[in-house]
A and B are shown apart, each in its own frame.
Chain A
């Protein structure tokens, strides 16, 4: 299995620009999670989906952030407009709801100048 795939791996952009992060979960997994990791706040959940439906988006910082899952094999996290405080590593994870837990992608390191 290829594991969770994220792209891009690194993104450098300027304040005010739109940023789109992409994730392909492990085939057969029906849960998809977006996390953000910073030194100050650690790992925090932004949003998660079950069967392509958003279940809990209480961690989404503000309206500048949006996430979609148009089908079982693809999800996007969009930031518009981006700000320097959005700089972080963004992880996507997936699980199938069984006794194995969540599996993480390699992350996207976002730097907003």
Chain B
């Protein structure tokens, strides 16, 4: 299967700071998803982003498929942003079916 690596593994921020999370993957993919797992364990679909840039409020994501990486930007972080951020990709040549997840970035935002 495809290898997905995320960095950094842990990130601690003061409220109001900005951050960038990175996701590298080992093969060509047709799409990529970013998820947020909140402290209660719920996995929330943030972005479906095969390529280019998308924005949703204070969050934005950029995928450069040709270079096999994606970035998640969090601006003006809030305590509610705390949790684990995962990226996930499907099998090579697929847009559907199984997703391969990275190990996640654990984000802690202090007030």
**Given A95-B96, A101-B31, A102-B33, A42–B45 Cβ distance below 8 Å?**
no
Binds B, one of A17-25, A69-77, A103-111: A103-111
> A42–B103 contact, CB under 8 A?
yes
Tell me how far the C-beta of B15 lies from the nearest C-beta in chain A, rounded to whole angstroms. Answer: 27
Which residues of chain A have C-beta atoms less than 8 A from B101's C-beta? 42-44
B104 within 8 A of partner (CB): yes
Q: Mark B82-111, 1 if CB is under 8 A from A, else 0.
A: 000010100000011111010110000000
Distance (Å) between the CB of A91 and the closest chain B CB? 7
> Which of B41, B99, B103, B104 contacts A89, CB < 8 Å?
B41
B residues in contact with A31, CB < 8 Å: 96-97
Apart from A93-B43, A99-B31: 12 A-B pairs, beta carbons within 8 A: A31-B97, A42-B103, A48-B97, A97-B96, A99-B50, A101-B33, A101-B45, A102-B33, A103-B45, A104-B42, A104-B43, A104-B45
Q: Does A15 contact B (CB under 8 A)?
A: no
CA distance A31 to B95 in the complex (A): 12
> Which of chain B's residues has its CB closest to A107's CB?
B41
Q: What residues make up the interface of B, taking CB atoms closer than 8 Å to A?
A: 31, 33, 35, 41-45, 48, 50, 86, 88, 95-99, 101, 103-104
Q: Is the beta-carbon distance between B45 and A102 smaller than 8 angstroms?
A: yes
Q: Is A55 among interface residues, defined by CB-CB distance under 8 A? A: yes
CA gap between A100 and B54 in the complex, in Å: 13
Q: How far is the CA of A95 from the CA of B103 in the complex (A)?
A: 22
Q: How distant is A34 from chain B, measured CB to nearest CB, in Å?
A: 11
Interface of A is mostly: strand
**Least CB separation from A30: chain B residue:** B96
Q: How far is the CA of A31 from the CA of B97 in the complex (A)?
A: 8
Q: How far is the CA of A48 from the CA of B98 in the complex (A)?
A: 7
The chain A residue with its CB closest to the CB of B33 is A101
Question: Is A45 located at the chain interface by the 8 A CB criterion?
Answer: yes
A63 to B95 Cα, complex, angstroms: 29
List the B side residues contacting A97 at CB < 8 Å. 95-96
Question: In residues 25-48 of chain A, which contact B (Cβ within 8 Å)?
Answer: 31, 33, 42-45, 48
